[in-house]
Structure 1
Amino acid sequence: METSTIDKIKKKASRLFENQLLLSGSVLEVRKWEPCTMIEIDLHLPFADIAQWTDVPYIKIKVNDFTYRDYTPSCWDAETRTCSLFIDAAHKGPGSEWAQQLKKGDAINYLKIKPTHQAPVGTPAIIALGDESSLGHLLALQQMVLPATRFSGAILMADEQHRGLFREYFRSPLQAIARNDIYGHHSLIQWVIEQQYTLDNTVFYVTGNDTMVIQLRKMLRQQGYASGQIKAQGFWS
C-alpha cells in the first residue's frame, strides 16, 4: 500500500515537472498511405523557431504517458511554422499506435527540437540513402541542399504502392527502390554499386535501420570512401 502511494506521488510530481517543459502544437492533416504503414502528419508548431534550423532537426514528441519518440520534421515553412512528419508505422510500439490514432485538429506535445548534427557539406555530390524509417530525414536533407542539383540518392520501400505514391507526389531526385531483403542492405548495396559513383567529391548520408546503416557503411569503406565521406545515423535495430 505504501509503495503504491509513493509511486502515485512520484508520478504526480513527474507529471507536473513534465508539463512545465512541454511545448504544444496542432495537427493540420493526417494522410495514411495505403497500406496504412506510412503515416504523413502535417503540424503547426507555433513555438518553434523554424528559421533557425540549419541542421536536419529532430523533435521529441510525447506519444504516451512519460513516453517519447524522436521524429524528423521535414517540408517545413518557417513563415507559417508548419512542417510534416513521415512515420513508418509498420512496427508495433507506442509511436506507431500514437500516429495511427491521430486526427486533424488534435493537439500534440513535444519536449524539444534539436539538431541531429547532419547538415549538407559543400561537396558537388550529396548522396542520400535510407529506408522508410528515414523518409522524413532524407526529405529534410534535400530541403537544405542548395543548389538542388547536388542532391540525389535512393530510398528503400518494401511496398510497391508506397513506391508509386512517392514517385507521384514528391518532386525529389531520390529513387524509390524495392527492398528485397529483410533489412534492405543487400538491395541498397547493389543499387549503389550500379551507380558507379566517383571517389572524389562525393559524400554519402546513410540513415535508417541499424543493420542496413552498418552494412552499407562497411561496403562504402571497402569501395575506398574515407570515413569523412560517410555520414551515418541509425534509427532502429
Structure 2
Amino acid sequence: MNSMPKIIGDFMELAFSSKICKVKVEATQMLSENIKMIRFKGHFPHVNFKIGQAVIIRVDDTNYRNYTPSKWNSKEGTFEVIFHIHKNGPGSQFVENLKINDQVTVGMPRGFEVLKKEEKYQFFYGDETCISVFKSLKDEIDYNDNNYLGILELDPVSMKVPDKLGFSVDIVPKSINKAEFAIDILNKLDSKIWDLWQHGYFYLMGNAKSIQAFRKVLKEKGVPNKKIYTQPYWAEGKIGL
C-alpha cells in the first residue's frame, strides 16, 4: 500500500502547524436528512474571526475541504458549521460519519469579512451549501437591528431547516431553469419593499449558474455591481470551487 499521500498530508500539516489546530467534535445535530450541524471544541484564543471566513478541514489522507462557520467563539474555543451532506465525495462522507469526541484537523479561518455592517437592508440568495454562512450573517444583522430578506432554493428534505434556525426567508424548490422560482419571487416583491431593498446589499452564493442568472436580473433592475457580492461554492461537473 502506497503511504506517500498520507506522508504528503502530514508534511502539509507540519509546514503550516502555526495555522492548524486539532479540535474535537463536541455536539452534532441532524437538521434534516442532508443538513448536519456540528460544534467543534479546541484552543485558538488569538484568532480574530470575521464573518464569511472559511476554515479548511482535512477529510482524509490527501483531501481537504473548505467550510464556512455559522458561529465562532475564540475565547471559548468553539465553532459551529452547518454542513450540506450531498452523498458525493470524501468531504461529504467524512462529515456524515463524524461523531462526538472525534478529532479533526482544521486550518484556521482565512479570507475577507463578507458582512457589510453599514448596510441597513441586506438580501441573501443561495441553497443548502450557503446555510452556514447565511446563519452567521443573519445573527449579526439581527444583533445590529438591521433588516434582511432572503430566498433559499432547497431540496424537499431541507425545506424545514430555515425555520429551525430562525430564518425569515422565502423557500423555493430548485428548477431546471437556474434560479427560476427565486427570480419569480424577486419580480413579485411589493414595490414599496423593492424601493427599500434595491439600495441594499445582495449576497449571492451557492451554484455558479444560479448566481449568474439571479445577478443578471438584479443588474436589469438597476442594482450596481458594488452592491452585489457573489461566492460560487459549486458547479455541475466540478469538484469544489
The TM-score normalised by the length of structure 2 is: 0.83
The one-letter code of the counterpart of 1:190 is D
- Residue aligning to 1:73: 69
State how many pairs are aligned: 226
Cα 1:116–1:131 shift into 2, 3 Å: farther
Q: Which runs of 5+ in 1 are unaligned?
A: none
2-structure distance, mates of 1:229, 1:142: 18
- Residue aligning to 1:231: 229
- Residue aligning to 1:131: 127
The one-letter code of the counterpart of 2:151 is A
The one-letter code of the counterpart of 2:222 is G
1:99 corresponds to which of 84, 95, 101: 95
Please state how far the C-alpha of 1:88 moved relative to its aligned partner: 1.1
User: Is 2:21–2:43's contact at 8 Å kept on the other side of the alignment?
Assistant: no
Please give the secondary structure, in 1, of the residue aligned with 2:124. strand
Q: Which runs of 5+ in 2 are unaligned?
A: 236-241
2:154 corresponds to which of 145, 157, 160: 157
The one-letter code of the counterpart of 2:165 is F
- Residue aligning to 1:43: 40
User: Is 1:27–1:105's contact at 8 Å kept on the other side of the alignment?
Assistant: yes
- Residue aligning to 2:13: 19
Q: Which stretch has the larger CA shift, 185-194 or 14-23?
A: 14-23
1:213 corresponds to which of 192, 211, 214: 211
2-structure distance, mates of 1:220, 1:235: 20
The two structures, once aligned, show a CA RMSD in angstroms of 2.3
Q: What is the 5 A alignment of 1:77-92?
A: 77-92=73-88
2-structure distance, mates of 1:30, 1:77: 17
The one-letter code of the counterpart of 2:144 is P
The one-letter code of the counterpart of 2:43 is P
Please give the secondary structure, in 2, of the residue aligned with 1:23. strand
Please state how far the C-alpha of 1:109 moved relative to its aligned partner: 0.5
The one-letter code of the counterpart of 2:228 is I
Please state how far the C-alpha of 1:148 moved relative to its aligned partner: 3.3
Please state how far the C-alpha of 1:236 moved relative to its aligned partner: 0.2
Q: State the 4+ residue runs in structure 1 displaced beyond 4 angstroms.
A: 10-13
Please give the secondary structure, in 2, of the residue aligned with 1:109. strand
Please give the secondary structure, in 2, of the residue aligned with 1:235. strand
User: Is 1:58–1:116's contact at 8 Å kept on the other side of the alignment?
Assistant: no
User: Is 2:25–2:101's contact at 8 Å kept on the other side of the alignment?
Assistant: yes
Please state how far the C-alpha of 1:162 moved relative to its aligned partner: 2.6
The one-letter code of the counterpart of 1:53 is F
- Residue aligning to 1:148: 145
2-structure distance, mates of 1:191, 1:55: 27
Please give the secondary structure, in 2, of the residue aligned with 1:103. coil
Please state how far the C-alpha of 1:157 moved relative to its aligned partner: 1.6
1:170 corresponds to which of 165, 171, 176: 165
User: Is 1:37–1:88's contact at 8 Å kept on the other side of the alignment?
Assistant: yes
